[in-house]
Amino acid sequence: MTDDNKKSEKMKADLDDLNTRVNAAREANEPKQARGINEATTYGIATRLVAELVAGLLVGVFAGWYLDRLFDTKPWLMIIFIILGASAGIINVMRAAKQLVPKEPHDEDEEK
C-alpha cells in the first residue's frame, strides 16, 4: 500500500509540475496588450499626416492663385497664402500627431 501512496504522490507532483509549465507557456503565448498604435494602422497614420500637410498647402496655393487673379496682384497673394497654407498644414499635423501619443508612458521592458 505504501508503494501505491508513493506512486500517487509522485504522479500528483508530476501533474502539478506539468500544470505549472502549461500555465507558464500559455501566459507567454498570450497576445500583448495594444499600445495604442498597431502595426497594421501605421500606414494609415502616416497617410493621414501627409494628407493633412498636403491639404493645407493645396488650399493655400489655390486660394492665393484665385485671389491673385481676382485682384491682379500676382504673385504676392499666392506667396502669402502658400506660407499660410504650409503653416496650417504643419499645425494640423502636430495636432494629429499629439492625438496619437499614448496618455500613459509605455515601458518596453514590461512586455518581456
Model confidence over 25-34: pLDDT tens digits? 888 887 666 5
Model confidence over 78-112: pLDDT tens digits? 999 999 999 999 999 999 888 877 777 666 565 55
Average pLDDT over residues 53-79: 95
pLDDT at residue 37, rounded to an integer: 57
pLDDT at residue 55, rounded to an integer: 95
Arithmetic mean of pLDDT over the chain? 84
Residues 6+ apart with CB under 8 A from 19: none
Total residue length of the chain: 112
Average pLDDT over residues 43-50: 88
User: Which cell is 17 given?
Assistant: 509540475
Is the confidence at residue 76, as pLDDT, over 90? yes
Is the pTM above the cut of 0.85? no
Residue in 36, 53, 58 with CA at minimum distance from that of residue 89: 53
How crowded is residue 82: how many other Cβ atoms within 10 Å of its Cβ? 19
